[in-house]
Amino acid sequence: MRLKISHRTEYSYDAPLQYALQRLRLVPRGGKTQTVHSWSLKVEGATEEARFVDHFENDTRLVSMADDSTRISIDAWGEVETFDTAGVFGEHRGFAPLWLFEHETDLTTPGEGIRELAHSVGQGSELDRLHQLMHIIGVRVAYTIGATHAGTTAEQALTQGSGVCQDHAHVFAAAARVLGFPARYVSGYLMLNDTVDQAASHAWAEAHVPGLGWVAFDPSNGISPDERYVRMAVGRDYRDAMPVSGIRLGWAEEQLAVAITVEQ
């Protein structure tokens, strides 16, 4: 499936900023599930300082905001050909060792809730158990916008029983690790069939299954990602794969506006 994507992020401030940096993971890389035909990243109100491939092989850019600016807009757009691989991303690549994905992170530290969730998964093959886990999360954590924030942990989201895709992915990764699977967080896009405009970028999780490699699970939709999914970045949790993260000096109030379209 050939998907056209556009992703605009705009920050505006009520007072000029002395200095700010934004780290962008907004460039997709090709692989078994997708081929990137064209991609552009344009930033206004800031200057590119560095581009590199990070430790999880994400294409990463650092931009700095010029003195006294009050607005930065980041436009990413392009065309990506996607393939339905039944969620299988395949063998682990790169120098990041697989064991790194067995480790908990601040956002995915398992508490009693996550452990109990992991142990509620019944018998079966590895794939069966991961599918079970995905479905239980869908039931236990209701998709609710605004109930959580970027710093909500997996344990918190599970305890309160609500969250968004980011929380679902964290709960999945945390519980899969308790079950002994290396697991990771994936950020990207999902084409919804009935609308072009998307409320937010999407996130899901992958578990490493012997013999298959990385297999993707989307607890928010109860399926393994197919050709409607575009991968952007991966990591141990949201913080590793954040599309935009930054640091700024000054006391200005920040306003964020995001507009995303995904269409065929």
Partner 1 sequence: MRLVAFDEMQPEKSGIRHSYSAYDRWWQQQDPARLSEKMRDAERVFRKTGITFAVYGEEEAAERLIPFDIVPRILSGAEWRRLTQGIEQRVQALNAFLDDIYHRQEILRAGRIPKRLIADNDAFLPEMIGVRPPAGVYTHIIGTDIVRTGENEFFVLEDNARTPSGVSYMLENRETMMQLFPELFQKIRVRPVENYPQLLRQSLAAVRPENLRGTPTIAVLTPGSYNSAYFEHAFLADQMGVELVEGHDLRVVDGHVAMRTTEGYKQIDVLYRRVDDSFLDPLTFRPDSALGVPGIMDVYRAGNITIANAPGTGIADDKAIYSYMPDIIEFYTGRKAILQNIQTFRCSEPDTLKYVQENLKDLVVKEVHGSGGYGMLVGPTATKKERETFSKKLAANPSNYIAQPTLSLSTCPIMTEAGLSPRHVDLRPFVLVSDKIQIVPGGLTRVALKEGSLVVNSSQGGGTKDTWVLDD
Residue 186 CB, nearest approach to partner 1 (Å):
17
Q: Using the CB atoms, write b or e for 251-260: b if 16+ within 10 Å.
A: ebeeeeebeb
Nearer to partner 1, 101 or 217 (CB): 101
Question: For residue 245, how far is the Cα from the chain centroid?
Answer: 13
- Element containing residue 73 per DSSP (H, E): strand 71-82
* DSSP 8-state assignment for residue 188: E
The residues facing 245 across adjacent strands are: 23
Closest CA to 24 of 45, 54, 3, 4: 54
Which residues within the stretch 150-189 sit at the binding site for partner 1 (CB under 8 A)?
A: none
Nearer to partner 1, 128 or 254 (CB): 254
Of these, 3, 5, 17, 23, which contacts partner 1 (CB under 8 A)? 23
Nearer to partner 1, 100 or 259 (CB): 100
247 binding partner 1? (CB under 8 A): yes
CA pair distance 21, 48, nearest whole angstrom: 10
Q: Does residue 172 contact residue 134 with C-beta atoms inside 8 Å?
A: yes
Q: In one letter, which amino acid is 191?
A: M
Of these, 78, 138, 163, 246, which contacts partner 1 (CB under 8 A)? 246
Size of the chain, expressed as the number of residues it contains = 264
250 binding partner 1? (CB under 8 A): no
Which residues within the stretch 57-96 sit at the binding site for partner 1 (CB under 8 A)?
A: 57, 60, 62, 64, 94-96
Which residues within the stretch 96-135 sit at the binding site for partner 1 (CB under 8 A)?
A: 96-97, 99-100, 102-103
Of these, 2, 37, 42, 51, which contacts partner 1 (CB under 8 A)? 51
Contacts with partner 1 by CB under 8 A lie at: 19, 21, 23, 47-55, 57, 60, 62, 64, 94-97, 99-100, 102-103, 236, 245-247
